[in-house]
Chain A
Amino acid sequence: MTNLIDGSEVSLRKFLSNLSPVDQIGAESRAATLATRSIKNESKNWAIDLAIRMVDLTTLEGADTPGKVKALAAKAVRPDPTDPSVPSVGAICVYNDMVKVARTALDENGGKNIPVAAVATAFPSGRASIEVKIQDTKDAIANGASEIDMVIDRGAFLSGHLGEVFDEIRTIKDLCGEKAHLKVILETGELVTLDNVRKASYLAMLAGGDFIKTSTGKVAPAATAPVVYVMLEAVRDFYALTGTKIGVKPAGGIRTTKDAIKQLVLVNEVAGPQWLDPSLFRIGASALLNDLLMQRMKMRDGYYPSPNYVTLD
């Protein structure tokens, strides 16, 4: 824990209420201006490969099966089987019970270095007792998850029980220990205001989250530009305060290469170029990967391939 707070709810509240407010209109307008930046062609090649390395390739459906997850794992290792120069993705992200399947499939396919991220703590709603959330997390880690994407208790946050949210994150962080990286999902679509996004970002960072993540992907709106903008400001300022770099993971709604590059522009200008790295920025997505692959082929060959040239999963 940082020395910014002493762990008591009083000091936490004091810290969060002293944060500078966010002016919604101003933040939206700045995020919109940054969306008009255009980047060089050589940089685009680099950006596409970087974005691929940042993808947390995700499947979070009730209908997920071991077969589906194995296919996803194969795609994560070699997104484009016809082109070995395409890098592997950042991680694959699945439900708790699919962690073992995913881990084994990755290991067998030459993806030992690709982490498995498990959504945990009663994803996506977070509505369960702390005992259930603890067990959920333990399970995931025991089965080989090295990244835990936990959801915060939005009900507690919105009703002002900030200490509860904080303690829950701390508890999960302690379980993760050295074994797993903790991403804290704020579900910004339910927090609604940018002031809340900033507060929740700091709360998660103070409690020990390694990453702050926008959304579950189950609630709209998800990773909007102003939300990501405010979260990037938070990690930038937290770094200035503490010397600790926290990662950011937008998830939900980022489907095209253009969307992904806009995210990278935000990272570059708001948090700074140091954050342009999969260890500090991830994109939670499923459909995005194929668009990145198609753009990559277009940059290589000069024309867009038919969508049939990229594999479904």
Chain B
Amino acid sequence: MNNFEYAQAPESTAIVDIKSEYGLFINGKFVAPKSGKRFETINPATQEVLAKVAYANELDVNLAVSAARNAFTKTWSKMPAAERGKYLFRIARILQERAREFAILETLDNGKPIRESRDTDIPLAAAHFFYHAGWADKLEHAGVGNNPKPYGVAGQIIPWNFPMLMLAWKIAPALATGNTVVLKPAETTPLTALLFAEVCQQADLPAGVVNIVTGDGTTGSFIVNHPGIDKIAFTGSTGVGKAIAKAVAGTKKSVTLELGGKAANIVYEDAPIDEAVEGIVNGIFFNQGHVCCAGSRLLVQENIQDELIEKLKRRMSLIRVGNPLDKNTDLGAINSASQLARIKEIADSGDLEGAQRWSPACNLPTKGFWYPPTIFTGVSQSHRVAKEEIFGPVLSVLTFRTPAEAIEKANNTQYGLSAGVWTDKGSKILWTAQRLRAGVIWANTFNKFDPTSPFGGYKESGWGREGGRHGLAGYLKAGN
């Protein structure tokens, strides 16, 4: 008799102190919004309201920008670079000390499994602050001239898929290079950014260096269009990215954009099959597929397709979907009702267009937003599921016969953020990587991130790079 069941091993939420109401973080203090409006943020796994968050209107954004400008002119740009570095080191250490609190709050607000927020999001966020802290007094070696200068005030808009990690990707390099910041977290996931505001207070960061304004897309457009902002950094959808590019065209603003993707994960016949299966699972089901660089198109060499798909299905049936706070959970909740609707709409088009859908049997919770891990086989290039970014746990499987065909298909997309190559042959990895038009190419692995490594896209996946030495260039004006 087999009784081998995994326990519900939920992380306790006692460590997290969620306030019933939050203000905007402007000039070092939490202040009530001038708009007088607040909106709710919910736990997508239960649909319970977590807190009411301030809605920033134009007036609020103006205040935030002038606080940031003031801090830039009077304090931050005058401070010796090594001192700036000290603040960043301090923030990084506090993030590590409060890692558990951040991880649980992230999981509550976003719906991602605690295993991921605990092992990936928060440690990487701290790593980004550590990495950039070291750069603060070494900017003459950043490759942008001898005496590079900050732009001034950076307006930063981040998405809901990795709220805290994207905050770190934005704020750490901006502060290290001497810019001050007005940051808007995503409408559905503002809580870790507001906890980060507390960390700024705890670290004694000078007032106005970091300002956090919560709100929706309209709030974002006030930031984008504000004449007092020198630099826009955005991570999100390609649609919004294009709108931002139009809005700032002809202004002094410098822009970096990190947009969508439809990554090809290429599995050659000589790949380590079992590990490729793990990589495919990690590529598309990590963070419920809410990953701009997700490996959402599996390109498998036709002669190993049957074996690979059989193993993939077997592995998918082991994926544990459910309570994100449970340490045994592999796939958490979809972040919002609207995202769930979008996933359903595109996935349903796969059925209509003739692809074959498969999902393992799984009991989805009744409350909250859920989508089972899903693959489509028999997909062709022209299907919507092969072309459009789904941003959910849905994988499209296509086949190829020769390496040249794999490259052609992989590059046949308007995106170019990431790609994966699976083969045991080093030469084939290099041959493939040279021909793929994608910013990040993983070989025999997927979805690995490091602050030292630049990240960014070709084509409609974005402008500029984040992370590494290349990422610093996005926040520095070339010196003499």
Give chain A's interface residues, CB within 8 Å of chain B: 20-23, 25-27, 29-30, 36-43, 46-47, 233, 264, 268-269, 273, 276
A-B pair count, CB < 8 Å, reads 66
Cβ contact within 8 Å between B272 and A37: no
Cβ contact within 8 Å between B5 and A39: yes
Cβ contact within 8 Å between A276 and B444: no
Cβ contact within 8 Å between A43 and B4: yes
Which of B4, B8, B9, B444 touches A23 (beta carbons < 8 Å)? B444
For chain B residues 1-47, which have a beta carbon within 8 Å of chain A?
2-9
Alpha-carbon distance A29/B444, docked complex (angstroms): 12
Instruction: Name the residue among B2, B7, B274 with the largest chain A CB count within 10 angstroms.
Output: B274
Which of A27, A29, A30, A39 touches B6 (beta carbons < 8 Å)? A39
Cβ contact within 8 Å between A40 and B7: yes
Cβ contact within 8 Å between B115 and A276: no
> Beyond A36-B115, A268-B4: 18 further Cβ-contacts under 8 Å?
A21-B270, A23-B275, A26-B275, A26-B278, A29-B278, A30-B278, A36-B327, A37-B6, A37-B328, A39-B7, A40-B7, A40-B8, A43-B3, A43-B7, A46-B3, A46-B4, A47-B4, A273-B4
**Binary CB contact string for chain B from 245 to 280 against chain A (1 if under 8 A, 0 otherwise):** 000000000000000000000000011111110110
Residues on B with beta carbons closer than 8 Å to the beta carbon of A273? 2, 4
Q: Does residue B302 face the partner (Cβ distance < 8 Å to A)?
A: no
**How many whole Å from A269's CB to the nearest CB in chain B?**
6
Give chain B's interface residues, CB within 8 Å of chain A: 2-9, 115, 270-276, 278-279, 318, 327-328, 424, 444-445
Which of B4, B270, B272, B276 touches A39 (beta carbons < 8 Å)? B4
Alpha-carbon distance A268/B4, docked complex (angstroms): 8
Between-chain CB contacts (< 8 Å), 13 pairs: A20-B271, A23-B424, A26-B278, A39-B5, A39-B6, A40-B5, A40-B8, A41-B7, A43-B6, A233-B274, A264-B4, A268-B4, A273-B2
Cβ contact within 8 Å between B424 and A21: yes
**How many whole Å from A41's CB to the nearest CB in chain B?**
7
Cβ contact within 8 Å between B7 and A26: no
Alpha-carbon distance A22/B270, docked complex (angstroms): 11
Alpha-carbon distance A22/B271, docked complex (angstroms): 9
Residues on B with beta carbons closer than 8 Å to the beta carbon of A39? 4-7
Alpha-carbon distance A40/B279, docked complex (angstroms): 28
Given contacts A25-B444, A26-B279, A269-B318, contact A40 B274 (CB under 8 A): no
When C-beta atoms are compared, the residue in chain B nearest to A30 turns out to be B278
**Shortest 7 CB-CB contacts between residues of A and residues of B:** A26-B275, A23-B275, A40-B7, A23-B272, A20-B273, A46-B3, A21-B424
**How many whole Å from B114's CB to the nearest CB in chain A?**
11
When C-beta atoms are compared, the residue in chain A nearest to B115 turns out to be A36
Residues on A with beta carbons closer than 8 Å to the beta carbon of B279? 26
**How many whole Å from A254's CB to the nearest CB in chain B?**
18
Cβ contact within 8 Å between A20 and B4: no
Alpha-carbon distance A27/B274, docked complex (angstroms): 8
Alpha-carbon distance A25/B276, docked complex (angstroms): 11
When C-beta atoms are compared, the residue in chain A nearest to B330 turns out to be A33
Instruction: Name the residue among B7, B9, B273, B275 with the largest chain A CB count within 10 angstroms.
Output: B275
**How many whole Å from B52's CB to the nearest CB in chain A?**
35
Alpha-carbon distance A162/B327, docked complex (angstroms): 44
Residues on A with beta carbons closer than 8 Å to the beta carbon of B4? 39, 43, 46-47, 264, 268, 273, 276
Alpha-carbon distance A273/B327, docked complex (angstroms): 21
Alpha-carbon distance A264/B2, docked complex (angstroms): 12
Residues on A with beta carbons closer than 8 Å to the beta carbon of B278? 26, 29-30
Given contacts A25-B445, A26-B279, A26-B445, contact A38 B2 (CB under 8 A): no
Cβ contact within 8 Å between A22 and B2: no
Cβ contact within 8 Å between B274 and A22: yes
When C-beta atoms are compared, the residue in chain A nearest to B278 turns out to be A30
Cβ contact within 8 Å between B6 and A40: yes
Residues on B with beta carbons closer than 8 Å to the beta carbon of A36? 115, 327
Which of B5, B115, B274, B318 touches A20 (beta carbons < 8 Å)? B274
Alpha-carbon distance A75/B6, docked complex (angstroms): 31
When C-beta atoms are compared, the residue in chain B nearest to A33 turns out to be B115
Residues on A with beta carbons closer than 8 Å to the beta carbon of B270? 21
Instruction: Name the residue among A21, A22, A25, A41 with the largest chain B CB count within 10 angstroms.
Output: A21
**How many whole Å from A271's CB to the nearest CB in chain B?**
11
Residues on B with beta carbons closer than 8 Å to the beta carbon of A22? 272, 274-275
When C-beta atoms are compared, the residue in chain B nearest to A40 turns out to be B7
Cβ contact within 8 Å between B274 and A43: no
Which of B2, B274, B328 touches A276 (beta carbons < 8 Å)? B2
Alpha-carbon distance A29/B277, docked complex (angstroms): 13
